[in-house]
Amino acid sequence: MILNGVEIRDTFAEAFPMVGTRLIVTADTPEWALTAGRTTTGFATSVIGCGCEAGIERVLAPEETPDGRPGVSLLIFAMDFKQLKTVVPLRLGQCVLTCPTTACYAGIETGKRVPLAKTIRYFADGHQISKKIGDGKGAGMRFWRLPVMEGEFVCDEDTGSVDGVGGGNFLILARSRAAALKAAEAAVAAMGTVGGVILPFPGGVVRSGSKVGSKYKGLFASTNDAYCPTLRGTRPSALPPEVGSVLEIVIDGVSFEAVSEATRVGITAVCALGAEGGVVAVDAGNYGGNLGPFHFKLREIMKDSAGGAA
């Protein structure tokens, strides 16, 4: 399949089940909400080394948030629920509680409960105030007020969780580093419009895609040498001679459909730049299909965009 001169390789991205949750963080200004969001989702690029994968799903207008202030929606994913229950209160306590003017609310009503203030309320040393008002029985109805030096930190007791998908991906094979970066930036910008997904790596882009295993004991992952341009010819390579740089976009989402849609939107943006923009091909990372139950077949996802080209 060729789209605007860009080859869509006949392969698939292999993804894994993850457990995820959503937090709504608000603040007095959009800037402080973003600061809290970026801090909370920092050092959360890969479960391999960070314990979770997290990102800002989108920026929220005041009318979309529980307290009418500017906010951000954050998604945090872990490999299992136990790990999720560990990492979320840690990040909440260190990055949201500490951030000026913020409050934190449940972003998912259903599913197993992930503790928020239920855990960190003890910071208030007995001065915490619980509130459960009205006859609603929905999630987030109980919240806590924690006196802090700045005033009060308001936080829902817990949030829901969802069985999500982690590790959706596609690779951008370009003629130069500049062309690969420009295509990746275009993809990230376009994918920001898709709800229910995050791109957990820096700026949404990975420059050091990995393969499973290593020649060194104890390393679970190592550089994806088949896609390293500087190794072409010395190792079995997936890169044609004209490819000078490869960047990867990794996608975590709340559902298979969300990741699939984000993949489609991202590849469409890459292909819009086309061969003229220095993009050679779009590929995907997989492990032969034997490890992850979710397969995102690139050509199937892009078939409606093909417009008869093949």
Partner 1 sequence: MSGVSLKPRAPFEARVDFSGITPAVTCPLTLRELEHLPVPHGARSVKLAELFFIESAPEGVLLIEGGDERLDGVGAGMLEGELIVDGPVGAWAGRGMGGGVLRIAGDAGDFLGAELSGGRIELAGKAGAHAGGASSGSRRGMSGGVLKIGGSAGPRAAERQRGGLLLVAGDAGEGLATDMIAGTVSVGGAVGPLAGRGMKRGTIFLREVPALPAGFVDTGAHELIALRLIARRVPELAEVLAGWTLARRIVGDTLLGGQGEVLAPE
Binding site for partner 1 (CB under 8 A): 66-69, 103, 105, 127, 129-136, 141, 143, 145, 151-152, 154
Q: What's the rounded Cα separation, in Å, for the pair 42 and 20?
A: 16
- Cβ distance to partner 1 smaller for residue 133 or 234: 133
Tell me if 143 sits within 8 A of 155, measured CB to CB. Answer: yes
Q: Shortest distance, CB of residue 130 to partner 1, whole angstroms?
A: 7
Gyration radius (Cα) of the chain, Å: 21
Beta strands at 2-3 and 221-223: parallel, antiparallel or unpaired:
unpaired
CA 236 to chain centre: 31
- Cβ distance to partner 1 smaller for residue 150 or 276: 150
CB-hemisphere CA count at 13 Å for 118?
Answer: 17
- Cβ distance to partner 1 smaller for residue 132 or 235: 132
83 three-class SS: helix
Q: Tokens representing 138?
A: 């929905």
Sign of CA dihedral 12, 233, 273, 210: positive
Q: Shortest distance, CB of residue 143 to partner 1, whole angstroms?
A: 7
